[in-house]
A and B are shown apart, each in its own frame.
Chain A
Amino acid sequence: MKYIPATQAERERMLAAVGVRAVEDLFLDIPAEARLKRPLDLPPAVPDPTLLAHLRALAERNTDCDRLACFLGAGAYDHFVPSTVPHLALRPEFLTAYTPYQAEIMQGELQAIYEYQSMMCELTGMDVANASMYDGASATGEAASMAADLTKRAEVLISTAVHPEYRQVLRTYTTHLPITVRELPAIDGVTSVEAARAAITDATAALVVQSPNFFGAIEEGEALAKAAHDKGALLVVAVAEPISLGMLRPPGEYGADIVTGEGQALGNALNFGGPYLGMIATREAFVRRIPGRLVGRTVDTAGRPGYVLTLQTREQHIRRAKATSNICTNESLNALVAAVYLSTLGRQGMAHVAELCARKAHYARERIAALPGYALAFGAPTFNEFVVRCPVPPAEINRRLLAHGILGGLPLGRFYPEYDDCWLLCVTEQRSREEIDHLVDHLETLR
């Protein structure tokens, strides 16, 4: 950043140029009672070296997954980020680009978005994906209103095995819409197909599930899709851990109508919880109801390929109050990161990362389940997360592990009071066998 000085003489010149006598005159429009009439309550200025040392000390009170062995997931995942990702995605042309307002002159940005959309379609098994949304939770909220619009029905049924924060955002989203949200209690850590069948009515616009779900379990997608479709409802599948799609069937293949998700795991850092990457994809028949930006590929008058923002009549700058969504921005940089990540890994790389995650997580799962006092909470098949019942309060375990450089899992009691002895663990490809063994050794002493 440039240092721009403002000396007394320069200030006088500026004041003279705008025709006021003093800086205070610039604030005349602000009512006197709203103005602070004393200096800010700040400590005296310190020399630069002292200030930097102070800030460094503050920063060191943080810690991160480069220094801890992270076994925490629950919607945000510690995956390895190949160096191609920062190298390409942080180029200034991409780093500083905002949503393409001058779309046609931003061919590079548009092409990047187009590639991202195409990869999202491949990953989810759907026909069309948008240029991205804020995060997995808001994308799921958008999917609910999309489903209500498509089916002309007013109720959304959501499994309690969906991320609790996604459910909270869905409620926020629908508070002022003519949509009611009903929860479908998960049974033994999964969404019961029978319970879903019984709960879906002719008024249900969509059944919303997450797979792998918040407890790490893989849902019976095909049966749930059938249960929804039999009553004319849609199936919305949220994917919080898209690396799982390197190994599991894409939701489009088992009948999902809208796939939402959190793309953070695809090359994005944990970023203190945001910015993240909202994914949404659907079938071609529903394209006019998808929210947000869409980039299409076309040819110009000379027959050369080019990229455009397409189907903009869905959006609020044209459709006004009747737009499909009030979101017209996107998370382009995060989407670009995902696109670079996916193209770096390729199909095989993605399958390999997914397999590493699953193998390591299953190794940890078996070893912990074999420990006296510890047991698996649920029996359903899992990918890279699983729930353990603990002999000691999970928050206490986390406190003790942190002293040994281990970031433990999520104590489930925070979101599910009935599971206050349960601990949601995540194992990604980043965890070494030594780290897992180290965790198990510590747990053995904690009972």
Chain B
Amino acid sequence: MYPKELRYTKEHEWAKIEGKRVRIGVTKFAADRLSDVVYVELPSVGAELKFMEPFGVVESVKAVSDLYAPISGKVVEINTALVEKPEILNSDPYNAAWMVVVEPSNPAEIEQLLDADAYTAHVGEDQP
């Protein structure tokens, strides 16, 4: 099951509201589909993300995928531990493998994201 407290994009990113900030990562579904992740490219602190536009890249032994911003805003933190050990994306996508933290410029965008049930419906019930 997908964590209830998160919001999701159809491109498989999750967003977690933490007060005035939003933490962003990708779902277990995405991590499983990518298989072994070997490289993650994140924006630098201070970069501006735009809603549903690419902000980074995740690369596995099989494929390369863009990361889409679930919300617009300024990057205030990036997970350098993930850049150094990309494989944690496969083992712990919702905690250790968070990607960036942003200060939203338009918090209302969060309403456009899917909740856990809608995301489950999007990827199919049989998925983890």
Which positions in A face B, CB cutoff 8 Å?
288, 313, 318-319, 322
* Docked-complex contact B66 and A322, CB < 8 angstroms: yes
Given contacts A288-B39, A288-B41, contact A313 B66 (CB under 8 A): no
Classify chain B's interface size. Answer: under 10
Q: Which residues of A contact B66 (CB under 8 A)?
A: 322
How far is A322 from B59 in the complex, measured between Cα atoms in Å? 13
Q: Which residues of B contact A313 (CB under 8 A)?
A: 39, 59, 63-64
How far is A344 from B66 in the complex, measured between Cα atoms in Å? 45
How far is A107 from B39 in the complex, measured between Cα atoms in Å? 26
> Which residue of chain B is the closest to A323 with respect to CB atoms?
B64
* Docked-complex contact B39 and A318, CB < 8 angstroms: no
Instruction: Count A-B contacts at CB 8 Å.
Output: 11
How far is A288 from B39 in the complex, measured between Cα atoms in Å? 10
- B:1-48 near A, CB below 8 Å: 39, 41
Which of A313, A318, A322 gathers most chain B CB within 10 Å?
Answer: A313
Q: Which residues of A contact B63 (CB under 8 A)?
A: 313, 318
A-B CB contact pairs (8 Å), 7 listed = A288-B39, A313-B63, A318-B63, A318-B64, A319-B64, A322-B64, A322-B66
> Which residue of chain A is the closest to B54 with respect to CB atoms?
A322
Q: Which residues of A contact B39 (CB under 8 A)?
A: 288, 313
> Which residue of chain B is the closest to A319 with respect to CB atoms?
B64
How far is A288 from B40 in the complex, measured between Cα atoms in Å? 11
- B:57-111 near A, CB below 8 Å: 59, 63-64, 66
Which of B41, B63, B64 gathers most chain A CB within 10 Å?
Answer: B64
How far is A318 from B66 in the complex, measured between Cα atoms in Å? 13
> Which residue of chain A is the closest to B39 with respect to CB atoms?
A288
How far is A319 from B41 in the complex, measured between Cα atoms in Å? 15
Taking the closest CB of chain A, its distance from the CB of B69, in whole angstroms, is 15
How far is A313 from B36 in the complex, measured between Cα atoms in Å? 14
Q: Which residues of B contact A318 (CB under 8 A)?
A: 63-64
Taking the closest CB of chain A, its distance from the CB of B2, in whole angstroms, is 27
Taking the closest CB of chain A, its distance from the CB of B22, in whole angstroms, is 23
Taking the closest CB of chain A, its distance from the CB of B36, in whole angstroms, is 12
Q: Which residues of B contact A322 (CB under 8 A)?
A: 64, 66
How far is A198 from B15 in the complex, measured between Cα atoms in Å? 44
How far is A313 from B62 in the complex, measured between Cα atoms in Å? 8
Give me 8 other A-B pairs in contact (C-beta within 8 A), A288-B39, A313-B39, A319-B64 excluded.
A288-B41, A313-B59, A313-B63, A313-B64, A318-B63, A318-B64, A322-B64, A322-B66
